[in-house]
Amino acid sequence: MAQQVLQHGAPVHRALQGAMAAPVQFVPQDDLPEGAAYEQHIFETRRVPTRDNLHDFFNGLVWLQFPQAKRRLNELQAGAIVAHGIGAVRGPLRDALTVFDENGALLDAPAPIWQALQAREWTRLFVDLRPLWHEARLLLFGHALLEKLAAPRKPIVAHVYRAQCAMDSVANADAWLAQQMEPGHWAGKPFSPLPVLGVPGWWAANEDPSFYADAQVFRPPRVLAGPTS
């Protein structure tokens, strides 16, 4: 519905506002007072300043699909801003929240897939274990990730969080994810990088195993230097 409204030339905030019920109101970008922190403004007013671009359109769609998780994420961002202010560098919690907000996803998959993903064993993950991906479900959350996939490129990476809940509906996943967002846990960035176009069925080119030989995309695990004598 929102897309149909946009096609008739309506501003993005108006298209989103008329789509379905949301815990926030979508308003023009000018609603954000000069000098105000974006996340804190949303938390205090429940109004989301929205620009007329694809990035903010997808942000609005995520608010509509994951209202509980987005509200919790915003609450934590605003709390960190109140506690520490706005500095040149985000603290660990705000940095992790921003990473997931922009590029996050939930992955429900059998244990061997998770083990290979965390070890960055790309050939095992996508070639050897390919049949197991039929038992996996990848649910996108990050609005920047969605924007990038509108013009797909091989290097696009999602930061995935392991889903340990019933993924039979987005509503269940949303409620579970909101409960997972505890500051101490989240500040540690409990995510794994996943080149999403390597997922079986997501990109025709990955039917060829040589697709995964590109070390610029499917990077080997980092080797930590040992102590020097």
Paired strand residues for 160? 105, 192
Domain locations along the chain: 1-65, 89-218
Backbone φ, ψ for residue 33 (5° rounding):
-60, 150
8-44, pLDDT tens digit by residue?
567 899 889 876 677 899 999 999 999 889 999 999 9
pLDDT value at 2 more than 70:
no
Residue with tokens 């929205």: 50
Predicted local confidence at residue 5, as pLDDT: 46
pTM given for the model: 0.90
Q: Tell the burial category of 160 from Cβ atoms under 10 Å away from its Cβ (0-12, 13-18, 19+).
A: buried
Residue with tokens 């070890």: 119
144-190, pLDDT tens digit by residue?
999 999 999 999 999 999 998 878 899 999 999 999 999 999 999 99
pLDDT value at 228 more than 60:
no
Joined tokens for residue 34: 């000069």
**For the residues 67-95, what does the mean pLDDT come to?**
88
Q: Specify whether the CB–CB gap between 172 and 117 falls below 8 A.
A: no
Give which of 143, 148, 50, 49 is closest to 105, Cα–Cα.
Answer: 143
What is the number of other CB atoms lying within 10 angstroms of the CB of residue 176?
Answer: 17
State the Cα–Cα distance between residues 144 and 62, nearest whole angstrom. 11
